Structure 1
Amino acid sequence: MATPASDLVALFEIDEQGDGLPEANWNIPPTETVPIVVEPQPRDDSPPIRRLEAARWGLVPAWADDVSVGVRAFNARSETAAEKPMFRDAVQGRRALVPADGWYEWQKHGDAKTAFYIHDDAPISFAGLYAWWKQPDGTWLLSTSILTTASAGELAAIHERMPLVVSPEMRDAWLDPSEDGEAALEAVVAEAPQVIESLSMHEVDRRVGNVRETGPELIAPVSA
């Protein structure tokens, strides 16, 4: 995610921008901070406010005893998220968009692995969930998880799973907390094969496997 926050504000029609948004990073691992778009349910009859916030990647539900819970909850399977105690409340009322310029995926050939970068011409958005967790010092931690689904199209030859990408046309419904969560999830999953067809992919250097590598050269195509 390297697109400036100011561009995300325009692209996702943000009303308010939170503090602590992360710097550009071309190689973000779980537990790091990522930008997310949320639209909480208003407490009165006022219109919803769409916010761009900084969140820890790895969902920590309100009932968690420790922040380490999020280490195993950075992804949520779309097929079971509405049933799992970790994610089901968020599916119903705390759905987010996780903006990204693209993502990396590894293709395995025996013991060998090849890295690919999947992207579009503009930032895409993953279907995400979010939660607030009260930390021991009394402050609140915002965290997020990215939903995944079965791969489709050319990507299916690289890996069996992929992030669930939300089309621009579906973003409003996905964020709307008044929409039925399971229905919204089913709708985004149903269109995933068509959404993935618009994306491009190319091989990149294996250095993306090292989280200390964070520069823009990581998304450069590997020379033939």
Structure 2
Amino acid sequence: MCGRYYLAENIRSLEERYHLTYTDLSYMPRYNIAPTQYAPVIIKDGTKQLKLFKWGLIPSWAKDLSIGTKMINARVETLLEKKSFRDAFYKRRCLVPASGFYEWEKIGNYKQPYEFHLSNHKIFSMAGLWDVWTNLKGEKIYSFTIITTEPNEYIRPYHHRMAVILHKEDEDRWLDGEIDNLNDLNGILKPYPSRFFEKQRVSEAVNSVRNDYPELIQAASVEEQIKWDI
């Protein structure tokens, strides 16, 4: 699964990367994005637009928003089997920008955190779906989920799933609302090749969603690494 990631970029960098028109959204670099929090996504409604949506899909027909905590990820293998994901696949696909993500290696009763990123350190896009839910007061909540697939060899020792990361040349294809056949998109919903990844052990501070600062993506201190290796 994808349960924690970071986007160490500002709005202007995102506008340049995705060729977006000017936006007045307020967003600062985030280093520990967790479920139920708001994060940038790219949707296409005539033109590509940058939005801030809540992580954890809340289908329009849901009775309450709590369902979002159980829908942070959508398995690519069963996208069309569940109504909540099927409807969004046909009508509401999005890109979820990221600079990297975290996974944990289980060692006995301890989980050691790792930070993963692309070797070129560039922004990448995870395939996502979005929806809008309206409460009894008429207030709208926009939310998203991240699609997952089987892991590549690099990620497999740390988790049995990984986010679908799209090659840059496939991003517009994913957003193209005219393509509504999953078979036409299966070729781009594959594990991203292992050779493009790098990782490093990072501080246990990332375990707490309350922590969100640049040092989280830096290599763990010598003291911490010695402690782990004892």
**Is the 1:18–1:52 Cα contact (8 Å) retained in structure 2?**
no
- Once the two structures are TM-superposed, the CA of residue 55 in structure 1 deviates from its matched residue by 0.1
Match of 1:38 in 2: 43
Alpha-carbon distance between aligned partners in 2 of 1:178 and 1:170, rounded to the nearest angstrom: 14
- Once the two structures are TM-superposed, the CA of residue 137 in structure 1 deviates from its matched residue by 2.2
Which residue identity does 1:64 align to in structure 2?
A
**Is the 2:10–2:27 Cα contact (8 Å) retained in structure 1?**
no
Query: CA 1:182/1:139 → structure 2, altered by over 3 Å: closer, same or farther?
Result: same
Q: TM-score, normalised by structure 2?
A: 0.87
Residues 26-66 of structure 1: CA deviation (Å, up to 9, x unaligned): 111100000000013xxxxxxx2110001000101111111
Query: CA 1:18/1:180 → structure 2, altered by over 3 Å: closer, same or farther?
Result: farther
- Once the two structures are TM-superposed, the CA of residue 13 in structure 1 deviates from its matched residue by 1.5
Which residue identity does 2:13 align to in structure 1?
D
**Is the 2:164–2:192 Cα contact (8 Å) retained in structure 1?**
no
The count of aligned residue pairs is 214
Match of 2:21 in 1: 15
Alpha-carbon distance between aligned partners in 1 of 2:154 and 2:101, rounded to the nearest angstrom: 15
- Equivalent of 1:210 in 194, 208, 211: 208
Give structure 1 stretches of 5+ with no counterpart: 41-47
Query: CA 1:147/1:189 → structure 2, altered by over 3 Å: closer, same or farther?
Result: same
Which residue identity does 1:63 align to in structure 2?
W
SS of residue in 2 equivalent to 1:51: strand
Match of 2:3 in 1: none
- Once the two structures are TM-superposed, the CA of residue 107 in structure 1 deviates from its matched residue by 1.1
**Is the 1:96–1:128 Cα contact (8 Å) retained in structure 2?**
yes
Q: Kindly report which structure 2 residues correspond to 1:187-206, keeping only aligned pairs within 5 A, or say none.
A: 187-190=187-190, 192-194=191-193, 196-206=194-204
Alpha-carbon distance between aligned partners in 2 of 1:112 and 1:184, rounded to the nearest angstrom: 42
Query: CA 1:213/1:186 → structure 2, altered by over 3 Å: closer, same or farther?
Result: same
- Equivalent of 2:29 in 24, 27, 33: 24
Residues 113-167 of structure 1: CA deviation (Å, up to 9, x unaligned): 1111111211111110000111222132110000111110221122111111111
RMSD, aligned CA: 1.6
Match of 2:146 in 1: 146
SS of residue in 2 equivalent to 1:17: coil
Q: Percent identity?
A: 33
Which residue identity does 1:126 align to in structure 2?
M
Alpha-carbon distance between aligned partners in 2 of 1:24 and 1:139, rounded to the nearest angstrom: 27
Match of 1:169 in 2: 169
Which residue identity does 1:13 align to in structure 2?
H
Query: CA 1:219/1:77 → structure 2, altered by over 3 Å: closer, same or farther?
Result: same
Q: TM-score, normalised by structure 1?
A: 0.89
SS of residue in 2 equivalent to 1:98: strand
- Once the two structures are TM-superposed, the CA of residue 210 in structure 1 deviates from its matched residue by 0.6
Alpha-carbon distance between aligned partners in 2 of 1:135 and 1:2, rounded to the nearest angstrom: 32
Residues 75-110 of structure 1: CA deviation (Å, up to 9, x unaligned): 111111221112111111211000011110011122
Which residue identity does 1:172 align to in structure 2?
D
Which residue identity does 2:132 align to in structure 1?
W
- Once the two structures are TM-superposed, the CA of residue 207 in structure 1 deviates from its matched residue by 1.3
- Once the two structures are TM-superposed, the CA of residue 24 in structure 1 deviates from its matched residue by 2.2
Alpha-carbon distance between aligned partners in 1 of 2:72 and 2:122, rounded to the nearest angstrom: 24
